Amino acid sequence: MRKKLLTALTGVTLCLAFAANPNPILAEEDSLDLQPGVSLRQRIDANGDGIIDADEKAAFREQYQKRFDRNNDGELDQNERRRARGQFDRAEDRRDRREERWDRQEDVLDHREDRRDRWEDVRDRREDVWDRREDVRDRREDRRDRWEDVRDRREDKWDRRENRRDRKEDVREFKRDRSHQRRHVSRDAGRSRRR
């Protein structure tokens, strides 16, 4: 498709530029034929006003004849025209090959970017999996911590109860000892009075 478009564009440019001249038109150097972004019309339009006038046509025709007139007779015979057409076709082929090479390079770059993107997606998915696993671990640890807190609170409650019991028992023992001591003291006091 691209090749057909380029061929059609080249044909239209040739028709517009040289309606009176049926010969194929080439730039002075082969390297100019391969410049991307520089059309044949731009090379013919010397002053860059967008209009190709008769002087520009004549100058380009002279340049064209100088380039392809091998026997210097001032006219292009059929062999010279065939040679010019061959050079023009080769220049187009070179341009097409270069564009195909650029397209292949772009395809390679796109493929690399796609591969990079796929790797990044895989990496992101793995990170998401690791994050979810860490979240599960964190939730488990939180649940363990809450259970430990509940256990600790229960143990504290039991310890407080035991402390209360111990204090009550100590108070009872103290009261028992005191009452026992009072009895003992009161008995000793009664004996000493009797004597």
Render pLDDT for 95-119 as a digit per residue (tens, 0 to 9).
899 999 999 999 999 999 999 999 9
180: amino acid identity, one letter: H
Domain-embedded: residue 131:
no
Give, as one character, the DSSP assignment of residue 13. H
Domain-embedded: residue 144:
no
Domain-embedded: residue 164:
no
CA distance 111 to 93: 26
Domain-embedded: residue 157:
no
pLDDT at 177 over 70: yes
E strand or H helix at 41: helix 40-44
103: amino acid identity, one letter: D
- Which structural domain, as residue segments, surrounds residue 59? 2-121
Domain-embedded: residue 11:
yes
For 107-159, how does the pLDDT look when each residue is reduced to its tens digit (9 = 90+)? 999 999 999 999 999 999 999 999 999 999 999 999 999 999 999 999 999 99
Domain-embedded: residue 185:
no
Q: Provide the pLDDT confidence category of residue 9 given band limits of 50, 70 and 90.
A: low
Number of domains comprising the chain: 1
With beta carbons less than 8 A apart as the criterion, state whether 95 and 34 touch.
Answer: yes
Domain-embedded: residue 154:
no
With beta carbons less than 8 A apart as the criterion, state whether 45 and 51 touch.
Answer: yes
- Specify the pLDDT at position 192: 57
Domain-embedded: residue 135:
no
